[in-house]
Amino acid sequence: MPDERVAVVDDEPVILRVVADALRASGYEVARFDQPAAALQHLEIHTVDLVVTDISMPTMSGLDLLRRIRSIDPNLVVVMVTGKATLDVALEALDLGAQAVPLKPFTPSELRRAIHGGLR
């Protein structure tokens, strides 16, 4: 059973809850954030093994969040989820070091596969 710590960042409350619940059910310790700035504050203080974040958020894009995460921890595993990404945005996320970019709607098993792949 996994025991990794995951930070989930999404401005959509339903997605945030569903992703966090699915990860908890798989044994992950989960911290939820509906604001990217709050997630960054958490990452500066706490150790996490992985971040799952939306790409499209109103206060800070997931790509900008990823850039800021890299300044805190260049090796942190990041999986970015999106329902609105173009191929260019997905490629930029991968170029910035995202390990996977699953598209919404995704199943819990698809998300777990992306996370397991990123943590390997």
Condensed to tens digits (0 to 9), the pLDDT of residues 3-39 reads 899 999 999 999 999 999 999 998 999 999 999 999 9
Q: How far apart are CA 27 and CA 25, in angstroms?
A: 5
Comparing C-alpha atoms, which of 35, 29, 37 is closest to residue 7? 29
Give yes or no for residue 85 having a pLDDT over 70: no
Question: Which pLDDT value is given to residue 21?
Answer: 93
**In CATH, which of 3.30.450.40, 3.40.50.2300, 3.40.720.10, 3.40.50.1000 is domain 5-119?**
3.40.50.2300
Instruction: Tell me the two tokens of residue 55.
Output: 């790409």
Share of residues in the chain with pLDDT > 70 (%): 98
What are the contacts of 86-90 at 24+ separation with CB within 8 A? Answer: 89/55, 89/63
Average pLDDT, integer, range 68-85: 90
**Token pair 């989820």 in the structure block, residue:** 81
pTM above 0.85, yes or no: yes
Comparing C-alpha atoms, which of 51, 56, 88, 83 is closest to residue 68? 51
